[in-house]
Structure 1
């Protein structure tokens, strides 16, 4: 839980610091959004390596080393002297976060029986959600009272405590570790596919100056994706076990996870930027706006977790999607006269929807799997969720860039368009989710 809290804290806390970072380094929104999307892209790329790490080194050693590396990178990133150094640190944080996050879900599903996994995920989620609940608030206070650099330092104490607890509480491996080669070729093709496609999307913000680069990026992404799929189908020990996707419920749950990632990371990126840029809120006010939503989400998780053990997974996920889509529509209809309380309420509605989606998606995807498939299954469902987040942030940033501007900044109309886009993507995912078998 501490490892996941640190990764989620890192993913969300930097958003309220973006205006200050942009001002200090003199960079635009097109480059600054790589601080968020670069983190998510790196996290997405490395998530599929978790299954191999667990088989090769065991959970105890893998998690402790990942937490140590994450702490070092976080501290180093806080001392960045250029935007390139800061982006590199964010990418490093994301790469290590991608190793840590699936390990928690693997442990929950490996230890708890099927009839208690939803409850366990709900309790786990309640603890983890403290990070995005407190992250924007903590980030806003750190930015306003100290300096934006402290948002990079903030996750390090969490992972430092996690290292101690790993060595004290996690057991040493009982079963013999499996020694088989790592799929480096698959990782290279996957990294090329993710990075080139995100780079092409990023440069679409200025297509006239980057036409050749956009075309080459798109072609490279298609070629790398094709080679990755071919490699995973033929490799003896692939990063992505294609056989898992032949299971109907697992496949449709992963499609729902893409929508969940887009909703979670797209809205977490969009809300602070929206209220600070279009509505004139301070960083602290932007953080406080998200606090009630985080608290309500923390209270929702245990309830949704218990329901996930007893009710239809597809029904709970669909209910959550409808609530979140409604929240996005309400933000899209908001104007400059709307007060703080109403905006906080729209955020609360969206977070309740997310609270119902996450435990049910996990149980719907992983309950049908055998114990030996849980390592790769958990890394795959986390991978697809992060993939949705990576592309969601880029699509939101692209929408803002093409939207109406005033004095070099997106107007409220540009933000409205972005909110409608998020609502549409979540609504479209209802159909495949409804096909998950109970």
Structure 2
């Protein structure tokens, strides 16, 4: 059962006597929250050709339907996590679910393209709240010994949402039109709100004098910096021109301003001292590297399957769904394994799996067929599910309650930055290795070469992540050993003082 965190023993007793929140129903609400926010990321992609016709717009214009959602999540996810720590995670999560649901309806009835883009940005803000606070709530709803299982369940729902988006979107567009892909969120959003409102623990009431202030300057600087970086990585559809360079330089300048502002802020958005924790810094770095690599499967896969293996579009979609399906099936078992064998150890096991699958793909000679592609992808995605669950568990298990929201936001941010970076960087590696300006018309041999080189680079990035994981574990062991030695020295000193004290 969930521990009540409302103020005062009398109020807690009244709450427990009236209705005690159920862990299972609370997790059901959190799972739906994660499912909806992930579904919103992938369901609109399949509708872009239809939307271009409906609004008589170019691909570059309708692309903002996807980009607005992604930018809103990326730029605001840390800020809303911190805001939840300050004003209360339950009330902010309920507001985020409400905003997501209302914005989904507005998307479905939007009469013009740019109103649809604006509604998608609002939907992305709601999704940012849902993503950041869903993970933060695990520490308040689940016993510490079962944190890994809960993280695995959330990872499963995220994978299901990502995998379900294209297929569900295609069915809804064919049967009911493009507006249905947004309106379908309304009943699910209402159900999610009711579950969260009924079963999540209440917010702890703090005296106004104890409440931390919100860092407005830091929030604005971080949002602008992340927006500049995201646009630098996505603008130009794979080409890197002067605008991309200018945006990247602006992002680098923004990082400097943000660090300076946080060092001076009385109540900073992100406490820079957090990065002195080698375990947290390592987890964030590994998350970004792994997400960058996972994007290679989505960037390279469609071209390799269609151009080299000659598969039709329907079969390409079926093969591409194998990865998310494996991740969905592996999530909960991975959480149980992390709880049993330790999160740090399973983080390394997951990275080894991703590295092994990437190396297999990089060393494929000739055309091994569909099975020769699917088997390594299964290894990669299973390894990813184990890594993601264990890494999130390691970070969120022992985090301070007043830092859960911002830490969860940082984990989600590192993942999103990895996905954005992977889209640009791994796509550029693939195009360069294929030795062609247009991958859609490249020869099958060139695409196969591009695939092998891309996954060779992916294997190198995972080996870097593996080195970070091993180094972080060694530092943690050393720190634990030093603490034990200090405790033993203190105990010996206490015994010496007792023995040397004059006896009465």
Once superposed, what is the RMSD of the aligned Cα atoms? 3.5
1:7 to partner: Cα distance: 0.9
The residue aligned with 2:466 is 430
Between 284-293 and 80-89, report the one with greater CA deviation: 80-89
* Distance of 2:354 and 2:399 partners within structure 1: 28
1:228 is displaced (CA, Å) by 0.8
Instruction: Summarize deviations over 1:143-170 as a string: whole Å, max 9, x none.
Output: 5555455434444432221112122222
CA apart distance, 1:360: 0.9
Cα pair 1:42 1:95 within 8 Å, conserved: yes
Query: Residue 310 and residue 407 in structure 1: after superposition, are their counterparts in 2 closer, same or farther (change >3 A)?
Result: closer
Change (3 A) 1:296 1:204: closer
1:67 aligns with 2:97: yes
Q: 1:193 aligns with which of 225, 236, 247?
A: 225
Bigger CA drift: 68-77 or 257-266? 257-266
Shift of 1:339: 5.2
User: How many Å apart are 1:5 and its aligned residue?
Assistant: 0.7
Asked if the contact 1:58–1:177 (Cα under 8 Å) also holds between the matched residues in 2, the reply is no
Shift of 1:8: 1.0
1:249 lines up with 2:273 in the alignment: no
In structure 1, the residue matched to 2:497 is none
Query: Cα gap change, 1:84/1:267 in structure 2, threshold over 3 Å: closer, same or farther?
Result: farther
Is 1:138 matched up with 2:168? yes
Residue of structure 1 equivalent to 2:267 = 237
Comparing both chains, which one has the higher relative contact order based on Cα–Cα distances under 8 Å and sequence gaps of 6 or more? 1
Which 10-residue stretch deviates more, 118-127 or 383-392?
118-127
**CA separation of 1:230 and 1:405: change in aligned 2, threshold 3 A:** same
The TM-score with structure 2 as length reference comes to: 0.74
Question: Hey, what does 2:77 align to over in structure 1?
Answer: 47
Does the CA-based 8 Å contact 1:60-1:172 persist in structure 2? yes
| Alpha-carbon distance between aligned partners in 2 of 1:409 and 1:35, rounded to the nearest angstrom | 27
Task: Look up the match of 1:13.
Answer: 43
1:115-264 matched pairs, under 5 angstroms: 115-143=145-173, 147-176=177-206, 179-203=211-235, 210-211=241-242, 213-264=243-294
Per the TM alignment, residue 340 of structure 1 is displaced from its structure 2 partner at its CA by 5.0
- Worse-superposed segment, 112-121 or 224-233: 112-121
Partner of 1:347: 377
Residue 45 of structure 1 deviates from its aligned partner by: 1.4
Q: Give the stretch that moved more between structures: 181-190 or 259-268.
A: 259-268
- Unmatched 5+ stretches in structure 1: none
- Aligned-partner Cα distance in 2 for 1:290–1:203: 25
Q: Report the 3-state secondary structure (helix = DSSP H, G, I; strand = E; otherwise coil) of the residue aligned with 1:176.
A: coil
Correspondence list, 1:410-429, <5 A: 413=446, 416=451, 418-429=454-465
Structure 2 partner of 1:288: 318
Consecutive unaligned residues of structure 2, counting only runs of 5 or more, are 1-30, 477-504
**In 1, Cα distance between equivalents of 2:115 and 2:459:** 34
State the alpha-carbon separation in 2 of the partners of residues 215 and 294 from structure 1.
33
What is the CA distance between 1:328 and its match in structure 2? 4.3
Secondary structure of the corresponding residue to residue 262 of structure 2: helix
Contact 2:156 2:332 in 1 (8 A): yes
Residues 232-273 of structure 1 show CA distances to partners (whole Å, capped at 9, x for unaligned) of 222122222222211111111111111233244553465457
Hey, what's the Cα distance between the residues in 1 that align with 2:463 and 2:284?
15
Taking a change above 3 Å as real, the CA distance of residues 366 and 70 of structure 1, as seen in their structure-2 partners, is same
Distance in 2, Cα, partners of 1:152 & 1:129: 19
Query: CA 1:318/1:151 → structure 2, altered by over 3 Å: closer, same or farther?
Result: farther
Structure showing greater Rg: 2
